[in-house]
Copies of this chain bind each other. A is one copy, B any other.
């Protein structure tokens, strides 16, 4: 079957492209470098994906869906807010720690081409409104204090994403550039963020 070979190469290319694009960005990445990383000829890149732009788009879509957490599970379950939050925070930090440079990469490329973003969001199934609704309900139930639910969601995302996105800076400033010490800090932070948020919003 020829498809086996085809799929294999295509995957290899996409995987290599992810590595290189995340490392160098769209402009910094070289087609030759991606080819080398994939262990194939450069012309083959153009055979599967016509141009650098198209390869980048395919890569970006795949990466973008990665940083979109399974927010929905947080909405659907009928666990108390504490449990939902804990699940979401731990889960998301784990995902990001596997790709610490993903957030910055996404933000940078988004800012370079904001129009491309619209289609992505629609096709990604991202529905932040659902989460906002959930928070609204909690406020009406009286479990958390009154506030703009969008603020709450954005604050939670901030507390999770930023410390990972700024890893090199924080690592140097606070952790003596020691990866282990930084990683431990982030691991502990799962609980810290949960506490920080709950202390702030819960009506005791």
Contact = CB atoms under 8 A, between A and B. Distances in A.
Contact of A163 (B154, B165, B193): B154
Nearest to A152: B196
Copies per complex of this chain: 2
Given A28-B27, A162-B158, A168 B110 contact: yes
Interface in A158-204: 158-159, 161-163, 165-170, 172-174, 185, 188-189, 192-193, 195-197, 199-201
A104 interface: yes
Contacts of A157: 162
Contact of A200 (B25, B27, B199): B199
A163 to B, nearest CB: 5
A111 interface: yes
Size category, A interface = 35 or more
Contacts of A42: none
A117 B172 contact: yes
Nearest to A189: B151
Nearest to A171: B114
A85 to B, nearest CB: 13
Contacts of A54: none
Contacts of A185: 150
A25 B172 contact: no
Interface of A: 24-28, 101, 104-105, 107-108, 110-112, 114, 117-118, 121, 126, 128, 132, 145, 147-148, 150-151, 154-155, 157-159, 161-163, 165-170, 172-174, 185, 188-189, 192-193, 195-197, 199-201
The 7 closest A-B pairs by CB, nearest first: A158-B162, A27-B28, A200-B200, A27-B27, A199-B200, A162-B162, A158-B158
